[in-house]
């Protein structure tokens, strides 16, 4: 039943199944609220958006303005200030200042309350780096064999991560790796005795999801590794992969958790045409309650050891209901915990996982390369889906070597890093990217040759830096700029501006008085020039000229509503972008 004045088409509202779930936010993040509000006749009306804190107490009322006269579409803002379950409602009433009968009694109508889930800042903001601990500090011996890195040796690599100004370190599974059907180099079915196995083939004689691979060290070594990261202000994100090797303790203790073939054998994982004989998927139709209890126990185990972020492997291959229940249980006890969905799958499933509770998700950015694709996707993630889907833009992963990186051209690596780190408040990079690693396993494929999933990598970080063959200083500068400018750490403020060249993309981000203008040359081979037409009204700038300081190179330009730019990636010090700060 509608109220005295119909308040309809309210946004943002997240409906999941038969219930409203929370609009995603972090403390002090601005949320734009809008609604269509109508009344009979010609009298004016007034509207306010009301914010309620987790205790249900009204804490603010903000006026709503009609977006365009005669549209009956009103818009307002709220800013929740702390972690917890907040809510908002809209109230409409007679505008006595504009109606003829100023003495009339105020007539009100109030919408129902809609939830806002305010989560920790890390749920939205983060610069992520991924490395395999077994490769950090690994040594290649004279006979060609490799001595694995450990948690102890990987501690030294944390400084490299900190020097690039990353604040989240994601490490693949650290658990014991099964021996049965272990894969060899480049996913070969025959593993040599020296092959370390795939970290996602979890479980062996040394334990399962609550144990660490003895080749990496002990639980105490892991604790020391996490503590060392925290000293450098780096959060460690742990992989949560709900699957097992044939050697996992669960296979014997709970065989009902797996699917059995007609011949009695447990079914291994398949993603046609790929087959994963070394991995058993979990069957959630058997003993659902038992599986939920055990996974909750595992998550609690690692939370007790200082983990606050879980990167969840292939969540789209498990029931969405499971994640809604698990994340709900965990966050009820530990609201600071963040779950990232590694879900490269159909949009509907990715969105469902976000509504079910995942704080972040991997995205399609990895494959969006043209100007039109980037603009379309940017508008989608910043406007259409931002109430329930938070993106994390990864430039590469151990599984994905995008075609556009396979040339090895340093300019394309720099260009993609700029786009990822400035379009989204969270972005990620897998180690080796800064060394321009680019060799594919086969032509027409997007997998790395000699993939680190199957072998230990020994990289010469110091040699690459000394030879000037590392993107690390550029990446460090990008992350430094992000830390300096809050506008880059928000999602809903992404706005695109017209440029006359399809090889040049221009966009802006503003948070309060912090305004950043970004221009990127999408051509990694040739210089491109164009005129950018900045929407001055949208930016809140006067129509006259303004000073723009390039935060990448420290130069100040005089720009205007029509700005000519030229970006040449081929110069001795190639330039693929401007990241300009404008004082307001």
Spatial separation of the C-alpha atoms in residues 244 and 176, rounded to whole Å: 10
Q: At what angle do helices 320-333 and 347-356 cross, to 10 degrees?
A: 30
- Burial string for 469-480 (b: 16+ CB within 10 Å, else e) reads ebbbebbbbbbe
Whether 267 maps to a domain, the answer reads no
Residues 77 and 158 in one domain: no
Domain boundary among 118, 151, 171: 118
Q: Residue 2: pLDDT band by 50, 70, 90 thresholds?
A: confident
Whether 281 maps to a domain, the answer reads no
Whether 571 maps to a domain, the answer reads yes
Whether 568 maps to a domain, the answer reads yes
Residues 164 and 228 in one domain: yes
Residues 350 and 414 in one domain: yes
Among 34-48, 152-166, 319-333, the least confident range: 34-48
Q: Yes or no: say if 415 and 577 are a contact pair by the CB < 8 Å rule.
A: yes
Residues 316 and 420 in one domain: yes
The pLDDT score that the predictor gives to residue 75 is: 98
Residues 107 and 139 in one domain: no
The pLDDT score that the predictor gives to residue 52 is: 98
Query: In sequence order, which residues have a C-beta less than 8 Å from that of residue 231 and are 6 or more positions away?
Result: none
Report the catalytic residues.
Answer: 313, 342
Spatial separation of the C-alpha atoms in residues 223 and 204, rounded to whole Å: 21
Spatial separation of the C-alpha atoms in residues 287 and 266, rounded to whole Å: 16
Listed residue (101, 103, 160, 153) closest to 130, CA to CA: 160
CATH number of the domain where residue 100 is located? 2.60.40.10
Give the chain's length.
584
- What single DSSP character describes residue 482? H
| Percent of all residues in the chain with a pLDDT value above 70, rounded to a whole number | 97
What the block records as the tokens of 18 is: 């038969």
Residue 536, domain extent: 490-583
CATH number of the domain where residue 455 is located? 3.20.20.80
Residues 369 and 447 in one domain: yes
Let me know the angle formed at the C-alpha of 424 by 419 and 426, rounded to the nearest 5 degrees. Answer: 115
Whether 222 maps to a domain, the answer reads yes
Q: Distances from the Cα of 126 to the Cαs of 390, 490, 546, in angstroms?
A: 12, 11, 31
Residues 47 and 21 in one domain: yes
- Looking at mean pLDDT, say which of 68-77, 274-283, 422-431 comes out highest: 422-431
Over residues 153-170, mean pLDDT: 98
Residues 306-320 have pLDDT tens digits of: 999 999 999 999 999
Domain boundary among 96, 118, 140: 118
pTM for the model stands at: 0.95
The pLDDT score that the predictor gives to residue 98 is: 47
CATH number of the domain where residue 570 is located? 2.60.40.1180
Whether 98 maps to a domain, the answer reads yes
**Coil/strand/helix, residue 333:** helix
Whether 271 maps to a domain, the answer reads no
Residues 465-475 have pLDDT tens digits of: 999 999 999 99
Spatial separation of the C-alpha atoms in residues 292 and 310, rounded to whole Å: 16
The pLDDT score that the predictor gives to residue 102 is: 47
Over residues 84-90, mean pLDDT: 98
Please provide the average confidence, as pLDDT, over all residues in the chain.
Answer: 95
Spatial separation of the C-alpha atoms in residues 70 and 105, rounded to whole Å: 24
Whether 553 maps to a domain, the answer reads yes
Residues 126 and 217 in one domain: yes
Over residues 129-139, mean pLDDT: 97
Instruction: Strands of 136-276 (E only): list them.
Output: 139-140, 146-147, 168-171, 235-240, 243-244, 269-271, 274-276
| Percent of all residues in the chain with a pLDDT value above 90, rounded to a whole number | 90
Domain boundary among 453, 473, 488: 488
- For the chain, the domain total comes to 3
Q: Residue 41: pLDDT band by 50, 70, 90 thresholds?
A: confident
Q: Yes or no: say if 367 and 376 are a contact pair by the CB < 8 Å rule.
A: no
Residues 361-379 have pLDDT tens digits of: 999 999 999 999 999 999 9
Over residues 537-552, mean pLDDT: 93
Residues 404 and 357 in one domain: yes
pLDDT of 47 > 50? The answer is: yes
The pLDDT score that the predictor gives to residue 270 is: 85
Spatial separation of the C-alpha atoms in residues 233 and 162, rounded to whole Å: 8
Residues 431-476 have pLDDT tens digits of: 999 999 999 999 999 999 999 999 999 999 999 999 999 999 999 9
Listed residue (433, 429, 419) closest to 577, CA to CA: 419
DSSP element (H, E) containing 48: strand 45-52
Residue found under tokens 């039109």: 372
Residues 58 and 112 in one domain: yes
The pLDDT score that the predictor gives to residue 543 is: 78
Residues 357 and 466 in one domain: yes
The per-residue DSSP string of 185-214 comes to GGG-SS--TT----TTSB-BTTBSTTS--T
Residues 511 and 482 in one domain: no
Residues 236-272 have pLDDT tens digits of: 999 999 999 999 999 999 999 999 999 988 999 887 7
């Amino acid at each position: 039943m509608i109220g005295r004045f119909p308040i309809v088409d309210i946004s943002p509202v997240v409906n999941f199944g038969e219930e409203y779930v929370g609009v995603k936010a972090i403390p002090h993040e601005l949320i734009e609220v809008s609604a269509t509000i109508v009344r009979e006749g010609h009298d004016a009306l007034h509207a306010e958006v009301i914010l309620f804190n987790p205790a249900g107490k009204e804490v603010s009322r903000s006026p709503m303005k009609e977006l365009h006269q005669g549209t009956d579409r009103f818009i307002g803002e709220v800013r929740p200030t702390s972690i917890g379950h907040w809510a908002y409602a809209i109230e409409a009433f007679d505008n006595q200042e504009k109606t003829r009968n100023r003495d009339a009694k105020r007539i009100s109508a109030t919408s129902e309350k809609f939830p806002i889930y305010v989560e920790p800042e890390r749920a939205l903001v983060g610069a992520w780096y991924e490395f395999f601990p077994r490769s950090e500090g690994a040594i290649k011996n004279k006979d060609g064999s490799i001595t694995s890195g450990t948690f102890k040796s990987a501690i030294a690599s944390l400084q490299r991560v900190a020097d690039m100004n990353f604040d989240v370190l994601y490490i693949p599974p650290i658990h014991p790796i099964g021996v049965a059907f272990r894969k060899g180099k480049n996913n070969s079915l025959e593993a040599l005795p020296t092959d370390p196995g795939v970290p996602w083939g979890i479980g062996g004689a040394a334990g399962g999801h609550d144990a660490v691979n003895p080749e990496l060290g002990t639980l105490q070594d892991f604790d020391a590794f996490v503590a060392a990261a925290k000293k450098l202000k780096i959060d460690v994100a742990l992989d949560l992969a709900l699957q097992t090797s044939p050697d996992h303790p669960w296979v014997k203790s709970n065989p009902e958790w797996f699917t059995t073939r007609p011949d009695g054998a447990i079914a291994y994982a398949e993603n046609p045409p790929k087959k994963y004989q070394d991995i058993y998927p979990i069957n959630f139709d058997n003993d659902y309650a038992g599986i939920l209890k055990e996974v909750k126990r595992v998550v609690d185990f690692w939370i007790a050891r200082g983990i606050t972020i879980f990167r969840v492997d292939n969540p789209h291959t498990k029931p969405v209901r499971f994640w809604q229940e698990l994340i709900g249980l965990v966050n009820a006890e530990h609201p600071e915990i963040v779950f990232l969905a590694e879900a490269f799958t159909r949009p509907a499933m990715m969105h469902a996982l976000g509504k079910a509770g995942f704080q972040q998700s991997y995205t399609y950015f990895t494959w969006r390369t043209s100007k039109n694709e980037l603009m379309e996707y940017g508008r989608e993630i910043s406007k259409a889906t931002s109430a329930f889907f938070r993106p994390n833009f990864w430039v590469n992963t151990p599984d994905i070597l995008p075609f556009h990186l396979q040339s090895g051209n340093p300019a394309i690596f720099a260009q993609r890093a700029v786009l990822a780190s400035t379009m989204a408040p969270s972005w990620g990079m897998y180690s080796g990217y800064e060394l321009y690693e680019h060799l594919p396993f086969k032509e027409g494929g997007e997998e790395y040759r000699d993939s680190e999933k199957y072998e230990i990598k020994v990289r010469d970080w110091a040699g690459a830096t000394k030879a000037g063959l590392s993107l690390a200083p550029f990446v460090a500068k990008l992350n430094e700029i992000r830390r300096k400018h809050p506008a880059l750490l928000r999602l809903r403020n992404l706005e695109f501006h017209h440029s006359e060249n399809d090889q040049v993309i221009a966009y802006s981000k503003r948070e309060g008085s912090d305004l950043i203008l970004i221009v990127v040359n999408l051509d990694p081979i040739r210089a491109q020039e164009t005129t950018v037409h900045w929407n001055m009204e949208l930016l809140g700038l006067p129509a006259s000229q303004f000073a723009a300081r390039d935060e990448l190179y420290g130069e100040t330009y005089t720009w205007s509503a029509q700005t000519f730019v030229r970006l040449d990636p081929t110069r001795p010090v190639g330039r693929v972008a401007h990241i300009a700060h404008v004082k307001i």
